[in-house]
Structure 1
Amino acid sequence: MESYYFQQLYEQVQHQQKELNQLLTTFKKLNNEFQQLKEKPTIVVEKLEYKFDQLKVETLEGTLNIGLNPSDLEGIEEMSLPSQAYNGPQQLKSQLLERVTQYLDEEMDSFVTETEKRVNKKLNNQYRNLIKEDIQKQLPARIDHYIQQSLRQSNREQTEEQHSESIYQQVIEDIRQGIYAFISQLPEAPNHNQN
């Protein structure tokens, strides 16, 4: 269990290091642009007087640029979105619900049995069903929580599949920790040992 936490810590440090490197690169780029702007000659207009009664406009043509000058557009790189379109939180939620439900149907019993052996307790089928029902009730809210959390901490370098897998693994780990905590905290009673 400790190795999992060390792995999580290592991954978090790696992620933060990657973000720090990106920030340093961006900072250097902005600093260079700032230096270039400082070196450009400034234009000082001391006084402008408009006499609208003498102004006659017959046609209005041209381009209005707010904040950008056409000559400044040369240095701007093309921006594009990743080739895969994001399917949205609802579709992701339904895919994750389906995968986690499949996990509960196919693998939860073996994990419960493994946990029973580790903590030296035996559950009856009623407790097993109770655990499964409780988890299924909490799944939609838990998945929503992780989706919202991932949207706030969006990692644009992850593909949609990696994003989904990351959330799936977090939910499965929560389920496993919850099962372990539940079984290990159950008081030893005669009805727990019945099958």
Structure 2
Amino acid sequence: MDHDLYSYSIQMQRFLEAQDKRIMKLEHELKRLTDELTEMKNKPPIHVDRIEYKFDQLKVESLDGTLNIGLNPNDLNNIDEFAVNNQPIQPGPFLFPGREIVAQEIYHDILSGLEEMIRDTEAQLQITLESSYHDFMRQDVERQLHQRINMYFDNLSHAERSPQQRENVKEKITEKVKSDIQKAIIQFITHSRSETGGNPNGV
């Protein structure tokens, strides 16, 4: 019995010592945190004045870039280059009632005549492509046609930016886009022949 009591008292003493150490550690940590909080309170507050951006004072000295029209995926040399070097900024997007309708008309007109354009180019170059090449070109043109049409809309002069010029604008943009496609088709067919050492279909 005395042995059990002695063992219990030893365990209790050890427990109290551990608790005492734990309390001291917590008190030390509390003091440190209190000191840090007091120090932060005594620091002067940070004041940020109002920030103003004067965009009208910005000046662009030069802006260079390239635009890949993408109608010929196998020939990265088919690139139209645009540069703005101390030149007046182009007018903003050409917006007027019915612009989207005109753009759709141009889109469908060009796609409806695309197969004939490809065959005429084949005849001109005396190269005959397989039908799979025709499908490939059509898909690529169709994928990028809207973007190309809108680019020409947005680059019209101020004089052309009126509903009264609608038919003239439609004709002008149609011819420009057709010209771009024609050049891309020629490069594509020529490139296909050089890769195969002859006509793609072996003719």
Query: TM-score scaled to structure 1, two decimals?
Result: 0.46
Structure of higher RCO (CA pairs closer than 8 Å, 6+ residues apart)? 1
Q: Which has the higher strand share?
A: 2
Q: Which has the higher helix share?
A: 1
Query: TM-score scaled to structure 2, two decimals?
Result: 0.45
